[in-house]
Amino acid sequence: MRALKAILIVALAIVVAGFVSLTIAVVAPKEETAQEQSELDPFYTPPNPLPSTTPGTIIRSEPVTYFEDALTNVKVVRTLSVSRDPAGAAQVTGGLLFIPTAPTTGERPVVAYAHGTSGFGDACAPSRNPDSPMNMPFIQTMADQGWVVTATDYVGLGTPGDPYYLIADSEVEDVVNSVRVAQAFPGSQAGSKYVVMGHSQGGHSAIWTGALSEKLAPELELLGVTVSAPAAELAPLLDQQWSTLIGWVIGPDVLVSWPLVYPEINPADVLTDNGLGEYRDIAYKCIEAAGLTAQIQTAFGEQMFAKNPLTAPGFGDALVEQTPKPLPASMPMLMTQAVGDGVVLPNTNAKLQVDWCKAGSNLRVNWLGQLATGALGPAETHANTLLAAWPLETDWIQERFAGKPQTPNCAFIPPVAPAK
């Protein structure tokens, strides 16, 4: 009995010590971050009324300096511009532009980047974040090619208004309008030809852009879609992840956003009492803090969801509507997926590969083996997929801008069995 008591005391001490150190790590920079964000608020606060409701109109811009050590011969600016919500009403979104400074005689091709899940808090918006996920090596490589890179924050992230997480109509508006912003920025020489590149949630945005861009932005010419670990097959993904740690991280974002578009979806129908009390707070944390909360909750055996959301009113139809359909053969797509991804499970994108190839899509799939992982294990594999994929993606984008045709590799059998 004494031995058991001693073990429990030691275990509790380890847990408490771990939580204290994690709390210090998260809370220590909080005051500094709050001050930085407060100083940025005037930039991201739109005038009332808006000077224009035309999508892509730049309301204001300013240089960003925190990329100076990482980038050379690249001008970086943040923008506040006009986009639209799913109902078609004018909204504003922040974003970043990366413009090569080397002279050119013609129009520059554009890469529209769609970022992955970041959280809904102001500090989570990439253009407001000194540790932005846009601080990636592919930016320099693309600028060296003479391409403009444009990156939307998405409506409702870092700006007033509602966020629309995994809502196709809103995501595509933001992506195509980011290209319009690039064209409108003085001296960018951004042209009408572009490729969209996305990771995770941004993969969902990018694929839907491949489907809807011609309708929403007929003056632009989308040459292809490249995605890494895309959240595409939503039903099998949710069916496998709702009761896991990932349910604590991703579920809150869905449950804040989807009832805005699907009023029949009621979070109280699917959440535990604990989940119902926590989900909005978690949604407005940045992804790292949300992940920490998820680890703590699961360590104590807590569940976000009381039941599989697929069984609740509204969820099934919404998932079908927000899941992208196979792109036509005229729209080439490259997808990179790691077999060890613990967030976007590989069997879901194995299903995409099989289904889309049967439907005649012009799809190439690049399967990655085991990537280096750290403390976050398979979740880190998900994040590292973009870092592993971008050299191939950059090569692929160069071929699209050069007008080269793509040959699908549908004869390649996925290394994991497709989800049902």
> DSSP letters along 149-194, please?
EEEE--TTSSSSS---TT-HHHHHHHHHHHHHHHHHSTT--EEEEE
> Is the pLDDT at 415 greater than 70, yes or no?
yes
- Tell me which of 322, 353, 384 is where a domain ends: 322
- Tell me which of 322, 353, 378 is where a domain ends: 322
Res 379: pLDDT? 61
Nearest partner of 194 among 151, 227, 148, judged by Cα: 148
Helices H / strands E in the chain, number of each: 12, 9
Whether 301 maps to a domain, the answer reads yes
> Is the pLDDT at 38 greater than 90, yes or no?
yes
Whether 419 maps to a domain, the answer reads no
Statement to judge: residues 218 and 85 lie in one domain: yes
- Tell me which of 322, 357, 386 is where a domain ends: 322
Beta-bridged to residue 271, according to DSSP, are 305
Residues 6+ apart with CB under 8 A from 133: 115, 116, 118, 126
Number of domain units in the chain: 3
Statement to judge: residues 105 and 246 lie in one domain: no
Whether 406 maps to a domain, the answer reads no
Statement to judge: residues 62 and 147 lie in one domain: yes
> Is the pLDDT at 212 greater than 80, yes or no?
yes
User: Do 99 and 74 form a contact (C-beta atoms < 8 A)?
Assistant: yes
Whether 227 maps to a domain, the answer reads yes
pTM of the model: 0.91
Statement to judge: residues 158 and 179 lie in one domain: yes
> Is the pLDDT at 24 greater than 50, yes or no?
no
Whether 420 maps to a domain, the answer reads no
| 8 confidence band (pLDDT: 50, 70, 90) | very low
Query: In CATH, what number is assigned to the domain containing residue 333?
Result: 3.40.50.1820
Res 33: pLDDT? 77
Alpha helix stretches (DSSP H) within 185-336: 201-216, 234-241, 245-261, 273-283, 287-299, 315-322
Whether 85 maps to a domain, the answer reads yes
Statement to judge: residues 254 and 333 lie in one domain: no
Mean pLDDT of 318-328: 98
The H or E element containing residue 392 is: helix 378-401
Whether 256 maps to a domain, the answer reads yes
Statement to judge: residues 275 and 207 lie in one domain: no
| 4 confidence band (pLDDT: 50, 70, 90) | very low
Statement to judge: residues 394 and 330 lie in one domain: yes
Statement to judge: residues 369 and 389 lie in one domain: yes
DSSP conformational letter for 126:
G
Least confident of 3-17, 314-328, 370-384: 3-17
Statement to judge: residues 167 and 309 lie in one domain: no
Statement to judge: residues 366 and 269 lie in one domain: no
pLDDT in tens, 336-346: 999 999 999 99
Give the strand pairing for 74-84 and 58-63: antiparallel
Residues 6+ apart with CB under 8 A from 291: 249, 376, 379
DSSP conformational letter for 323:
S
pLDDT in tens, 127-172: 999 877 667 889 999 999 999 999 999 999 999 999 999 999 999 9
Statement to judge: residues 18 and 68 lie in one domain: no
Mean pLDDT of 271-288: 96
Res 133: pLDDT? 65
Whether 410 maps to a domain, the answer reads no
Statement to judge: residues 193 and 298 lie in one domain: no
Compute the distance between CA of residue 273 and CA of residue 91 in angstroms, rounded to an integer: 34
| 108 confidence band (pLDDT: 50, 70, 90) | very high
Q: How far is CA 133 from CA 74, 117, 227, 287, in A?
A: 17, 10, 15, 11
Res 29: pLDDT? 44
Nearest partner of 169 among 89, 59, 266, judged by Cα: 89
Mean pLDDT of 50-59: 97
Q: Say whether 124 sits in a helix, a strand or coil.
A: helix
- Show the domain range for 266: 236-322
Q: How high does pLDDT run on average in the chain? A: 90
% of the chain beyond a pLDDT of 90: 84
Q: How far is CA 26 from CA 32, 43, 114, 143, 299, in A?
A: 12, 26, 26, 34, 18
